[in-house]
Amino acid sequence: MDEPKKRILVVDDEAIIAMDTSAQLRRHGYETVVVYRGDEAIAAATSDSSIDLVLLDIDLGEGMDGTAAATEILSRRELPILFLTSHREQEMVRRVRDITRYGYVVKGTGDFVLISSIEMALDLFDAHRRAREGEERYRSLVESIREIIYEVDLEGIIRFVSPAVTTIFGYDPAALTGRNAMEFVHPDDRELLRTRIPLAGADGPSVYRFLTSTGEYRWVTTHTRAVPGSPGRARGSLVDITELKEAEQARNRSEQRQERAELIAGVGNWEFDLGNRRVYASAGARELYGIENREWNIPEIQTVPLPEYRDMLDHALTDLVTSDVPYDVRFRIRRPSDGRIVEIRSLAEYDRERNTVFGVIQDVTKQNRVQTELRESLDYLHAVLDSVNDAVFVQDAGTGRVLDVNETACRMYGRSKEELLGLDIAAISAGVPPYAQADAERWMELARQGTPQIFNWNAKDSSGRTFPVEVNILYAVIGGAKRFLVTVRDISGRLRTEHAVRELLEEKEMLLREVHHRIKNNISVIASLLSLQSMRVDAPAAKAAIVEAEGRVRTIGTLFDKLHRSTDFRHVGSGEYLTDLIGDIFRSTGGAERGITLELNIKPFTMSARACVPVGLILNELLSNAVKHAFRKDGPGRVTIDCGLQESRILIRVIDDGAGLPGPLESLGQSGLGLTIVNALVKQLSGTMAVESVPGEGTSFSVSITDPELTEK
């Protein structure tokens, strides 16, 4: 296909010359457009885009000359302008050169010179255009790519850097030009970089940290090569790889964490390439097997498991590869590094596309030992539970189903373990009065709230026989599962024993009551005999002695009367016993008839039957002496008796407001039987007695005695 004809704008104020020039050009295959003034030339050149060259006379007569028109045209459009002139002066040449580099042609030099000049101008313009387009494409490419293009000299001075440096690192390219590249390299990376630049004799990429305008260092990689034909210059590209570097560092950290986790957990992974027959092992696998190499050959790895496992391992691998049989094996190895025996579990899967087996291994030595100990512990626990006489049930707290039982439960209920498992425990409960299922549900709910429950119940065995049991329910959460732990004790024998004991106790109580009744009757007989005897004695001293003896006997009788009436034969309450006893003693002495008043202050407490007789006799002697000897025969007077506990001892005080003692207590004790009895009884009870007497004002006896069984009531 023929190229289109070039179109030339001819500008000359001489019409004949313009027509002649146009004709010359047409003869040589050019199309022409002819104008005669500068303004016409500007309009034609800017409006007609098909014009390829302007042939412009410098001297256009009046108005705008050719150089001014050329300047205006070039300000609006890129065109080759070739000047025509009749002038050859140096000044004219300079004017033309300052406007355009396409030169000028002297009028009248002939067709050859004119056409050659035009062709040279068109070729030069086309070359400039192609160079400019290439430069623009290169610059556009440099500006559009994410890589930074740069050029440095032998000293590392930056001679060129692409605009991408602004986007990536925040620098103005002009601010970097002329500076040493090492200023922007991390101090720790500079020495390495100096040995890696092509100008130092090396080649290839370099990785280092580059300083951004914000003061942050970013990881970069550069590919630098010497510029051919430009000694001392190197050109290259720089790429920000911070994200890649961080990802790589994160991957390395992840691998390190994985290796550390494997070593801590005692696990590892391995990969068996069936093509090259090589095994690749992780750090955890190498540690477990005691082999340092990352790659293992088959003969080497086959020597590690103990010989008795070799066939099993080979068959398991073959079955996995050929038949997709799951690979889950347990075996023992002898580590080459230290000879230690390790128990291993390994699982694997086969990747058919890669013809590779990937597996994991785990050190289960401790796990197996723990499982063995756990089994032994469970066996021991079951043996202990089976040996106890109580039935033990583990019950699902939600459904009520029996989950486990001991042998005693099977014997107690006449069922096998299989028959009991899965039953609702209500199925082996009688639920007969006085117990109802609602009671059991209430007790279970209380146990669920955290309060263990113990209650009696009626159970039912496989024959339908009911028997009494004691049930203990404990709620527990075991491994996240809610359970009732139920123990059942057959209390048939215990109830029979308790019934027999109750009968024996009742019989014993009846015997004791009868004994006390007989003793009381005998004491009453003795008191009556003494009373009858006193009536037959005339001597006052003898009669008084018999009456006193009668009083002492009746005091003992009062105690046995209280014990006979009481349900507790070992203890007596102070209020009932002492109040009645003191009243009987006071009445027997006739104190009220003589005008003597009695004031009692008895604090409630419980004393043993063993201490009751001495306490009663002491009160009998002290009260009788006070009524008989402290006052005139016609009275009046007052006797106050205080009785209570003081520091775990019984304190008795008998106070009268009579005449006082006639002499020292020692002389009285030797002549009177009453005080002799009191002293003996006080010593018997590890006690003390104090006497205070003021003539004409009265006497006070204070007795403090012990009773190991006394309690405040």
Q: What is the CATH number of the domain that holds 603?
A: 3.30.565.10
Question: Residue 358's pLDDT is what?
Answer: 92
Question: Residue 312's pLDDT is what?
Answer: 93
- Residue by residue, DSSP assigns 633-649 as TT--EEEEEEEEEETTE
Does residue 109 fall inside a structural domain? yes
pLDDT in tens, 118-146: 888 888 888 888 877 766 666 665 555 56
Sheet harboring 711-712: ordered strands across? Answer: 571-573, 605-608, 711-712
Does residue 619 fall inside a structural domain? yes
> Are residue 349 and residue 218 in the same domain, yes or no?
no
Please name every residue paired with 220 in a beta bridge, in sequence order, or none if there are none. Answer: 208, 240
Q: Is 39 exposed, middle or buried (0-12, 13-18, 19+ CB in 10 A)?
A: middle
pTM listed for this prediction: 0.39
| Contact between 400 and 425 (Cβ < 8 Å) | yes
> Measured between alpha carbons, how far apart are the two ends of the chain, in Å?
139
Does residue 1 fall inside a structural domain? no
Residue 9, classed as helix, strand or coil, is: strand
Measuring CA to CA, which residue among 413, 419, 397 is closest to residue 473? 397
| Contact between 30 and 23 (Cβ < 8 Å) | no
CATH of the domain at 190: 3.30.450.20
What is the C-alpha separation between 486 and 484, in angstroms, rounded?
6
Does residue 375 fall inside a structural domain? no
Please name every residue paired with 57 in a beta bridge, in sequence order, or none if there are none. Answer: 84
> Are residue 172 and residue 284 in the same domain, yes or no?
no
Among residues 138, 160, 177, the one where a domain terminates is 138
> Are residue 556 and residue 574 in the same domain, yes or no?
no
Does residue 67 fall inside a structural domain? yes
- Other beta carbons within 10 angstroms of residue 380's beta carbon come to 10
What is the C-alpha separation between 63 and 317, in angstroms, rounded?
103
Does residue 72 fall inside a structural domain? yes
How many H helices and E strands in the chain? Answer: 22, 29
Range of the domain at 194: 146-240
> Are residue 28 and residue 125 in the same domain, yes or no?
yes
> Are residue 585 and residue 675 in the same domain, yes or no?
yes
Does residue 215 fall inside a structural domain? yes
> Are residue 581 and residue 712 in the same domain, yes or no?
yes
Does residue 374 fall inside a structural domain? no
| Contact between 464 and 429 (Cβ < 8 Å) | no
> Are residue 114 and residue 168 in the same domain, yes or no?
no
Q: Residue 235 has which token pair?
A: 């050109």
Among residues 108, 138, 168, the one where a domain terminates is 138
> Are residue 575 and residue 712 in the same domain, yes or no?
yes
Q: Which residues of the chain have pLDDT under 50?
A: 1, 198-202, 669-671
Task: Tell me which H or E stretch contains 466.
Answer: strand 466-478
| Contact between 33 and 7 (Cβ < 8 Å) | yes
Please name every residue paired with 639 in a beta bridge, in sequence order, or none if there are none. Answer: 598, 656
CATH of the domain at 29: 3.40.50.2300
Q: Residue 315 has which token pair?
A: 């068959």
Question: Residue 328's pLDDT is what?
Answer: 93
> Are residue 208 and residue 84 in the same domain, yes or no?
no
Measuring CA to CA, which residue among 174, 173, 177 is closest to residue 152? 177
Among residues 566, 587, 620, the one where a domain terminates is 566
pLDDT in tens, 226-263: 777 777 788 888 888 888 888 888 888 877 887 787 77
Number of domains in the chain: 6
- Residue by residue, DSSP assigns 150-197 as EEEETT-BEEEE-THHHHHH---HHHHTTSBGGGGB-GGGHHHHHTTS
